[in-house]
Amino acid sequence: MNDQIKLDFQRPERLGLDEAILCARKSDAQLATIMNRVLEHGVRCLMTRLDPEVFARMARTHRERLDYDPVSRTAYLNWIPAAELEPPRIAVVSAGSSDMPQAAEVMRTLTYLGASTKQFIDIGVAGLWRLMERVEELRTFPVIVAVAGMDGALPSVLGGLIPGVIICLPTSTGYGVSNGGETALHAALASCAPGLTVVNIDNGYGAACAAFRAVNIIRRAVEEIL
Amino acid sequence: MNDQIKLDFQRPERLGLDEAILCARKSDAQLATIMNRVLEHGVRCLMTRLDPEVFARMARTHRERLDYDPVSRTAYLNWIPAAELEPPRIAVVSAGSSDMPQAAEVMRTLTYLGASTKQFIDIGVAGLWRLMERVEELRTFPVIVAVAGMDGALPSVLGGLIPGVIICLPTSTGYGVSNGGETALHAALASCAPGLTVVNIDNGYGAACAAFRAVNIIRRAVEEIL
Amino acid sequence: MNDQIKLDFQRPERLGLDEAILCARKSDAQLATIMNRVLEHGVRCLMTRLDPEVFARMARTHRERLDYDPVSRTAYLNWIPAAELEPPRIAVVSAGSSDMPQAAEVMRTLTYLGASTKQFIDIGVAGLWRLMERVEELRTFPVIVAVAGMDGALPSVLGGLIPGVIICLPTSTGYGVSNGGETALHAALASCAPGLTVVNIDNGYGAACAAFRAVNIIRRAVEEIL
Amino acid sequence: MNDQIKLDFQRPERLGLDEAILCARKSDAQLATIMNRVLEHGVRCLMTRLDPEVFARMARTHRERLDYDPVSRTAYLNWIPAAELEPPRIAVVSAGSSDMPQAAEVMRTLTYLGASTKQFIDIGVAGLWRLMERVEELRTFPVIVAVAGMDGALPSVLGGLIPGVIICLPTSTGYGVSNGGETALHAALASCAPGLTVVNIDNGYGAACAAFRAVNIIRRAVEEIL
Amino acid sequence: MNDQIKLDFQRPERLGLDEAILCARKSDAQLATIMNRVLEHGVRCLMTRLDPEVFARMARTHRERLDYDPVSRTAYLNWIPAAELEPPRIAVVSAGSSDMPQAAEVMRTLTYLGASTKQFIDIGVAGLWRLMERVEELRTFPVIVAVAGMDGALPSVLGGLIPGVIICLPTSTGYGVSNGGETALHAALASCAPGLTVVNIDNGYGAACAAFRAVNIIRRAVEEIL
Amino acid sequence: MNDQIKLDFQRPERLGLDEAILCARKSDAQLATIMNRVLEHGVRCLMTRLDPEVFARMARTHRERLDYDPVSRTAYLNWIPAAELEPPRIAVVSAGSSDMPQAAEVMRTLTYLGASTKQFIDIGVAGLWRLMERVEELRTFPVIVAVAGMDGALPSVLGGLIPGVIICLPTSTGYGVSNGGETALHAALASCAPGLTVVNIDNGYGAACAAFRAVNIIRRAVEEIL
Amino acid sequence: MNDQIKLDFQRPERLGLDEAILCARKSDAQLATIMNRVLEHGVRCLMTRLDPEVFARMARTHRERLDYDPVSRTAYLNWIPAAELEPPRIAVVSAGSSDMPQAAEVMRTLTYLGASTKQFIDIGVAGLWRLMERVEELRTFPVIVAVAGMDGALPSVLGGLIPGVIICLPTSTGYGVSNGGETALHAALASCAPGLTVVNIDNGYGAACAAFRAVNIIRRAVEEIL
Amino acid sequence: MNDQIKLDFQRPERLGLDEAILCARKSDAQLATIMNRVLEHGVRCLMTRLDPEVFARMARTHRERLDYDPVSRTAYLNWIPAAELEPPRIAVVSAGSSDMPQAAEVMRTLTYLGASTKQFIDIGVAGLWRLMERVEELRTFPVIVAVAGMDGALPSVLGGLIPGVIICLPTSTGYGVSNGGETALHAALASCAPGLTVVNIDNGYGAACAAFRAVNIIRRAVEEIL
């Protein structure tokens, strides 16, 4: 079935974004085929939802080509770090250790795309003073990714304090009526803070792409001027 | 069908709470029957969800016996204000004018039961500083009723700042994924702030009764000492 | 209850966004109070979800101060058009006449905030060629608001073609499993096109604020350079 | 319990369709009994949702009688390929490798029933040009099976371009609000493209049977003429 | 806003199906504009979900141009009956008077498109013998539209008896757990009868288009032979 | 924690029904404690949802006291078969092998309670003639338990043909929109056949108890006469 | 369309139950047609969900033939009271005035069918002693219909005290998470009291038919003996 | 990532409640880091949802510092029992062995916080007399935690009998329409007993914190007097 898979190698040109391979629910054979295809084309590729056990089962020749991170479950194939980075324009804000994997997926995707970020992980609504201490710094970022599970109150609080683009990433953290992230998703969508935007539950890759689209419109505007 | 209705006149003795008549979905005839029954017994009674149009259609003799408030849609029958009130132990906190009817149902029910309250209506999460200015005062109340619709972020913020009993009253304010109050309800239940408790959507009467149960346990404890 | 309403007049300064008054489910009396408060402060104000019948019931002195649009159900109070407008950076894309009210709410809100927009209303997925003819023009806009009900396929198609910021506004158009906009909402969130962001169902005001936040980060970046 | 199982051997005569054995949630013993019953009757049989581990646990004498395919998880028992095939009248269209198992179930079922098919697997909405290149060819097929998970936008796009019978097979691919295929299902049902029809989530067997019913009405009509 | 509406007049050529105007949730002004546009182009048009009150409010010049049916809530604009009809290939089957409006929408749409139909309205599962008497006749139709609300058992029974194409139209008839047609929809999708296909709840227009697509593939196949 | 468990040994006297131990989600230690308690009291006991692996892990002394059936996952403790059985008054009807475990739980529970039953397992709606052949026999039973998953059409068909008490047992068989039995449950509840009653999904024990209550009212009535 | 409606006049013979006409969502014209058909056949008929306004709009000749009750919204056509009634075997139990319409539909349907009933309306769980006083009397009834909305706790309590057949009728009374009766429905289905059975929300007619089926099996058994 | 975790060590001072570590979905490495951080600070800490297997995998040095209970899946780190306990003011009421883990989490949390409790585990609604025997004793407790799964009828019954603060803890016990605790949750919220409050499904920690808040307001009131 090797010849049936056709990757969208033109996407970077069209969108400024690379195609990512969502590894969940793909068989080992399918992943091997995709990696071979990418290697043949000599392009780079981002893999998401790559579980440590799946990574461990890969052929050594494949594993050696990957820059793998088990917390975010992401891998870079054929990736070369950018020589120089702009100062970070994207803040990734989360409440603590439960949302770490999703926040890490955001940051790893942005690093892959070449955007530098700054992480704020002690920003929880239940301990409001920690958030208040960082507000002034957060207001300087043009783009904020707010990672929040359970009751999803963080985006509403940020949305009333921060003027930049705010992208809410609800997470499946929690139990009972958290409903696998649905409550955090709905709370972000129903927020009375004006102008929040939201991505799918646990979609760290998508939140990163949305943030990257936002910094890209700055870059394009600035380039037009200079 | 007059003789079929049997009210629970022993409830005050058993629970310290009066039976309330939920007027929604009762016919005019049913309401008239109930009121006559209450008047015959010479007891008092609280009516909730009494729409202005239904009130307007009542016989004048009935209307004259009622202390009616159209915002909360509550009416008192045979009620006499308490001679003297303790200083308020219950704070009713809400964000603004959309949740006014539900907050008013809480306060009217508590007034009926003889508990004094203080209302805080400018406490919204999207304008956080207004809330922060009132925190110290709020911390002095043993019981807080937090009224919140839409994203329901208010209870989480309060729950991290206030040590007393917190009763969350989610409201059906909002549209789309607010889902008639379900998002506010779930956000309060899934909150990471420890020890919040919650009542049904728009159940201002229930929130008031829960608050009254809480102040009653104080009263009983104090009476035992004195 | 006049003195209980406290508006958030500092919001423009803090966020660059005005508070909007959601008129749905507010009584005539509440709306009158709010308008008086705004007029006393001499500030401007945007009103949303203002039904024609409610508008018609207002006092003439109030009606005369409003710039009212029945399609979008929005009104401007104390608003003065900007002297000069930049060329439009925001495209508002929708499929046709059913989503007109929501698209109109987006555009009226952006006009109020001072951002110029261009509307594309013949962009339906079921007649794909009409969309394909406009792709090149759409690719020049830094920000797209995609308004879509029913199956919500439009955002996915745009997301694969357009590099800018894309804000999806699902609408409650449709019946049966459209579920009042839930299917369009979920389709936008679950899209395989990378980096779409989404707001609540029918939340034209929120989509406009999100678009305004995005053009603001361009403006700020450009101002820093110049 | 051997004698309790009664298969519907008359179905092919009645409907032109064979009974298929849904292996999921059947015990090894139940499957063995069913296979023995089929072998005793000397008829053929299609087995679906037969997991590789279940297949591996079968008695060798049973395994040897099966034509098993692990991707589609289907097996043929007592099946003989048709001597000669008509040119394909059914196109099976999907976006890529994630929906491969369901597309394979469709094709294996149709092969079993004796219908020839052609597969199109590079037809994703997020990379629209690939789809546009194949439209003219797709328009020549009387029957299309459109396999789509996540946002399910593919059927809507096809439905506006293709005049034939279109059967949508939503898949459980995706996470978060994909809700195990519900969003793809609802998007196909709520599509504004006219005349799409839909089968249950992941029901590749059902989609194949529906396609086979459609080609059969052609066959019957042609036979009546000749 | 007259010039903003662009109808898809090329659809008949592309799909063999006309665009229909879904009148629900369109304003009177929007409908008038659309009708004028259709009349200017001299084409024909089908209008669905046109409530009697809306029809009654139309200008007389518009009303006189419409062939309106209040049961199905459909109207034909500029429509001329076909000179001669083929014998019916489509059977529209329903249980009784509650599903009449939806069955009527199917038949009116097919009449508009030029397909002749036969209606069977006494086909209920709770009175099974009436259904059994008609099975042989029903088996002669290449295409069946099965209209069913409440428990939606009719499609399952037909699916086990009839070899042709079966299109299930679930209806919103019923109350309680009928859930506005969701139970009938899910029952049809989850049916163990092989090869049923389904359209959205109450989508008589869509069911008719699906049936028309099916008879068209017969017509095309026959034309190729002759 | 041994002394904390208090079984309801008076239930047989009060209701004519024994307490059953739902083994699912109980720890091995809890089950051992319960069995010891039952053995000490010298009473009998029915255990449901007892998985084969859990049974295999039990102490031999416990296993030897149990009459265990792995298909229904039920066990009898201290049970002695009735000396003589009345002719069966309860028919247990199901479509085939997928619903076997639930049908078996019904029959094992009734056997335990002392009621004799007759099983009909070839009664599927998709092969209607098999059902029609048995209708006359089924009409002689005062009580029918109809076991059905997926689309749940069987109860509706039976309900229109059979005059006795009909208890529907929806099962979690199926996938996709079967929703773990919800569709079968809702179809039975929404059936247009008059007077069906329903129990919880997969609740074979409950269906058996309901059937037993029904035959008991016959027994009591007959005893009163004799 | 007069000749299209075919009523199931054989149902009484087949099931011992009459067909009832569900008037909700039928047009005035449809109802008139049905009544004429019934009158022509000289049979009797039960009409349910007949709103007072619809009744008031009927032709006088029709109204005069009906025995109409506005509380239960039922009407009898051509009905003659039974000469003599057996002592009541069915108890209809409800908590109070909110569930009155549904309880009344049960009783009116049973009266129509010729079964005598006794009503218990002061049986609420929140005032448990009232229920406890009636337990001994309730235990003498072979069949109980338990009408309960909101939290639906009544059936669970009865189910642990009463040995007869218990049919739960959940009602749509309540608000918020009562979810139009879903919570009462689910509570009855999930009850830990053994052998409860349940009908659809607000389906008083169905509950009555189920109760009638139960008393009929007693009658048949007794007749066989005598 | 060690330095990224910042615990909220000020919470006890602010709220009188300790931060608890929700161990579910945290990696072994994250838990080790958190424990080290706690040990470094010399504070105490409560861990919840700590599965026995996770506990078994911990380093021995960590395991030895924990007071671990496998039934409640809780652990105390650095905890010293209070020297002297007040008589219990909190009753923890549940129906039996299925809800034991959740009831245990409540009691272990309260013991950790220093509140003494009394457990009532034989309080089931289906065996009402056991509950009635304990009512007088239960009425003496100022605070009741009512633990209930399945139909959740227990809180409604208690709510009508007991005057104190009642905190309902719905549990995920059950199957089918129990929906993982949703039915018990909704039944408690929709209860007609006045003034019940509710926490999230299976949130024993939260119920305990709510109970502790309630006894704290008594303690504070008493201290103010003395």
Q: What is the pLDDT of residue B1?
A: 39
Whether E176 sits inside 8 A of G10 (CB atoms) is no
Portion of chain E with pLDDT greater than 70, in percent: 96
Confidence bin at B198 (pLDDT 50/70/90): very high
Mean pLDDT of C197-215: 97
Phi, psi of F101 (to 5 degrees): -60, -40
Residue C185 has pLDDT above 90, yes or no: yes
Write down the residue that tokens 């057949």 correspond to. Answer: G165
Cα(A87)–Cα(A101) distance, integer angstroms:
24
Q: D93 pLDDT exceeds 50? A: yes
Chain D: residue whose CA lies nearest to C196: D126
Question: How far is the alpha carbon of H65 from chain A, nearest alpha carbon, in Å?
Answer: 22
**Residues of chain A above pLDDT 70, percent:** 96
Distance (Å) from the alpha carbon of D65 to chain E's nearest alpha carbon:
25
Tell me the mean pLDDT in the region G124-153: 89
Residue environment code for B169-178, b if the CB has 16+ CB neighbours within 10 A, otherwise e: bbbbbbbbbb
Contact G150 H189 (CB under 8 A): no
Q: For an interface test with F, which of D2, D7, D8 has the most F Cβ atoms less than 10 Å from its Cβ?
A: D8
Q: Which of G4, G5, G202 sits opposite E175 (nearest CB)?
A: G202
Q: Kindly report the average pLDDT of chain B as a whole number.
A: 90
What gap in Å lies between CA B29 and CA B57, rounded to an integer?
11
- Whether F2 has a pLDDT exceeding 60, the answer reads no
- pLDDT above 50: residue G55: yes
pLDDT grade, residue A1 (50/70/90)? Answer: very low
Contacts of C221 in chain A (CB under 8 A): 142, 218, 221-222
Q: For chain G, which residues lie within 8 Å of any Cβ of chain B, measuring from their own Cβ? A: 71, 96-98, 100, 119, 121-122, 124, 126-127, 130, 173, 175-178
Please indicate whether residue A80 or residue C18 has the higher confidence score (pLDDT).
A80
Q: Nearest residue on chain C to A145, judged by CA atoms? A: C197
Q: Which residues of E sit within 8 Å Cβ distance of C?
A: 1, 4-6, 8, 10-11, 22, 24-26, 30, 34, 172, 180-182, 185, 200-203
In the numeric block, the tokens 């039974």 are attached to G82
Q: pLDDT confidence of A192, banded at 50, 70, 90? A: confident
> Beta strand pairing status for H66-69 and H74-77?
antiparallel
pLDDT at residue number D5:
60
**Element holding E219 (H helix, E strand):** helix E204-225
B216/H200 Cβ within 8 A = no
Question: Is the confidence at residue H1, as pLDDT, over 80?
Answer: no
pLDDT attached to residue C6: 63
Task: Classify the C-alpha dihedral H86-H92-H96-H101 as positive or negative.
Answer: negative
Q: Which is higher by pLDDT, E26 or G18?
A: E26
Which candidate from C165, C194, C203 shows the least CB-CB separation from A17?
C194
In the predicted model, is pLDDT for residue E195 greater than 70?
yes
* CA distance, residue H31 to nearest chain A CA (Å): 10
Query: Which chain G residues contact residue B24 at CB under 8 A?
Result: 175
For F133, the token pair is: 């052949």
CA distance D12 to chain F (A): 12
| Angle between helix G204-225 and G100-113 (nearest 10) | 40
| Element of type H or E holding H117 | strand H117-120
Q: What is the mean pLDDT of residues H80-89?
A: 82
Report d(CA H162, CA E51) in Å as an integer: 55
| Tokens standing for residue C216 | 């603001």
Selection from B81-95, D76-90, H103-117 with the highest mean pLDDT: H103-117
Residue C191 near residue C91 (C-beta atoms within 8 A)? no
Q: What is the pLDDT of residue G166?
A: 97
Q: How far apart are CA F81 and CA F57, in angstroms?
A: 26
Position G4 scores a pLDDT of: 54
| Structure confidence at residue A5 (pLDDT) | 60
Q: Residue G24 burial (CB < 10 Å; 0-12/13-18/19+)? A: middle
Local confidence band at A81 (pLDDT 50, 70, 90 cut-offs): confident
Q: What value does the mean pLDDT take over residues G85-89?
A: 84
Give Cα A201 distance to the centre of its chain.
12
**What residues contact residue A49 under an 8 Å CB cut-off, 6+ apart?**
A22, A23, A24, A73
| Average pLDDT score over chain E | 90
Give chain E positions within 8 Å (CB) of D164: 213, 216-217
Quote the CA–CA distance of C19 and C44 in Å, as a whole number. Answer: 9
| Closest Cβ opposite residue F98 in set D11, D26, D185 | D26
pLDDT at C5 (0 to 100)? 60
Q: Return the pLDDT at C2.
A: 42
Mean pLDDT score, H166-174: 94
- Computed over every residue of chain H, the mean pLDDT equals 90
**CB distance D211 to D90 below 8 Å:** yes
With touching defined as 3+ CB pairs under 8 A, do chains C and E touch?
Answer: yes
Tell me whether residues C191 and D126 touch, CB distance under 8 A. yes
pLDDT band, residue C153 (cuts 50/70/90): confident
The answer on pLDDT for D2 being more than 50 is no
- In this prediction, residue C164 has a pLDDT band, given cuts at 50, 70 and 90, of very high
Greatest mean pLDDT among B104-113, E9-18, E122-131, H74-83? B104-113
Segment C111-125, tens digit of pLDDT:
999 999 999 987 888
Please report which confidence band the pLDDT of residue F78 belongs to, taking 50, 70 and 90 as the band edges.
very high
CB atoms within 10 A of CB A184: 35
Please name the residue that has the structure tokens 């299109």: E167
Alpha carbon distance, N-terminus to C-terminus of chain G: 49
Higher pLDDT, E125 or F178: F178
Report the alpha-carbon distance of residue E193 to residue G80 in Å, rounded.
Answer: 44
Tell me the per-residue pLDDT of H66-78, one tens digit each, with 9 for 90 and over.
999 999 999 999 9
Distance from CA of F23 to the nearest CA of D (A): 20
Residues of chain B found within 8 Å of residue G121, distances taken between Cβ atoms:
4-6
Question: Which amino acid is present at H159?
Answer: G
Quote the pLDDT of residue C1: 39
Q: What is the pLDDT of residue H226?
A: 78
Of E8, E25, E180, the CB nearest to C127: E8
pLDDT at A87 over 90: no
The three-class DSSP label of residue F20 is strand
pLDDT average, residue stretch B4-29: 80
- Would the CB atoms of A16 and C205 count as touching at under 8 Å? no
**What is the Cα–Cα distance from G173 to C159, expressed in whole angstroms?**
45
pLDDT of amino acid C55: 97
Residue G120 to chain B, least CA–CA distance (Å) = 9
Question: Whole-number mean pLDDT of chain F?
Answer: 90
Please spell the DSSP secondary structure of B144-180, one letter per residue: EEEEE-TT--HHHHHHTT--SEEEEEE-----GGGGG
For the beta sheet containing G117-120, the strands, ordered from the edge strand earlier in sequence to the opposite edge, are F117-120, F90-94, F143-148, F165-170, F197-198, G197-198, G165-170, G143-148, G90-94, G117-120
Please tell me the predicted confidence (pLDDT) of residue E2.
Answer: 42
Antiparallel, parallel or unpaired: β G20-22 and G45-48: parallel
> What are C's interface residues with A at a Cβ cutoff of 8 A?
11, 14-17, 19-20, 142-143, 160-167, 185, 189-190, 194-200, 203, 205-206, 208-210, 212-214, 216-218, 220-222, 225-226
Buried b (16+ CB within 10 A) or exposed e, C39-54: eeeeeebbbbbbeeeb
Q: Any contact of F with G, at least 3 CB pairs below 8 A?
A: yes
Identify whether the C-beta of residue H111 lies closer than 8 Å to the C-beta of residue H117: yes
Please tell me whether residue E134 adopts helix, strand or coil conformation. helix
pLDDT at H92: 97
* Predicted pLDDT at H47: 97
What percentage of chain D exceeds 90 in pLDDT?
69
Question: Could you read off the pLDDT of B133-145 as tens digits, one per residue?
Answer: 899 999 999 999 9
H117-120 and B117-120 strand pairing: unpaired
Q: Which chains touch D (3 or more CB pairs under 8 A)?
A: A, C, E, F
At residue H122, the pLDDT reads 75
pLDDT tens digits, residue range E81-140?
877 777 899 999 998 778 999 999 999 999 999 999 999 987 878 778 888 889 999 999
D and E: number of Cβ contacts within 8 A: 125
pLDDT in tens, A33-59: 999 999 998 889 999 999 999 999 999
pLDDT band (50, 70, 90) for residue D1: very low
Please provide the average confidence, as pLDDT, over all residues in chain C: 90
H193: left (phi over 0), alpha (psi -120 to 50) or beta: beta
For residue G2, the model assigns a pLDDT of: 42
Is residue A152's pLDDT more than 50? yes
Residue B159 has pLDDT above 60, yes or no: yes
In this complex, which chains have at least 3 CB pairs below 8 Å with chain G?
B, E, F, H
Q: Is the pLDDT of residue D3 over 60?
A: no
Predicted confidence at residue E1, as pLDDT, reads: 39
pLDDT top residue among D127 and B160: B160
Question: Which chain C residues touch D134 with a CB distance below 8 Å?
Answer: none
Mean pLDDT score of chain D: 90
Indicate the residue of B98, B100, B177 with minimum beta-carbon distance to C200: B177
AA identity, residue B35:
M
Best mutation site among E186, E189, E191, E201 for testing chain F: the one with the most F CBs within 10 Å? Answer: E186
Confidence of residue D4 (pLDDT cuts 50, 70, 90): low
What pLDDT is attached to residue C58? 97
Return the minimum-mean-pLDDT range out of A194-198, C164-168, E80-84: E80-84
- Chains A and E, touching by 3 or more CB pairs within 8 angstroms: no
Q: What is the DSSP string of chain A?
A: -GGG----TTHHHHHS---EEE-TT--HHHHHHHHHHHHHHT--EEEES--HHHHHHS-HHHHTTEEEETTTTEEEES----SS-PPP-EEEEE-SSTTHHHHHHHHHHHHHHT--EEEE----GGGHHHHHHHHHHHTT-SEEEEEE-TT--HHHHHHTT--SEEEEEE-----GGGGGGHHHHHHHHT-SSTT-EE--TT-HHHHHHHHHHHHHHHHHHHHHH-
Report the 3 state secondary structure along chain G. CHHHCCCCCCHHHHHCCCCEEECCCCCHHHHHHHHHHHHHHCCCEEEECCCHHHHHHCCHHHHHHEEEECCCCEEEECCCCCCCCCCCCEEEEECCCCCHHHHHHHHHHHHHHCCCEEEECCCCHHHHHHHHHHHHHHCCCCEEEEEECCCCCHHHHHHCCCCCEEEEEECCCCCHHHHHHHHHHHHHHCCCCCCCEECCCCCHHHHHHHHHHHHHHHHHHHHHHC
As to burial, measured by CB atoms within 10 angstroms (0-12 exposed, 13-18 middle, 19+ buried), residue F84 is: exposed
Please report residues of A whose CB lies closer than 8 A to that of C15: 160, 162-163, 194-195
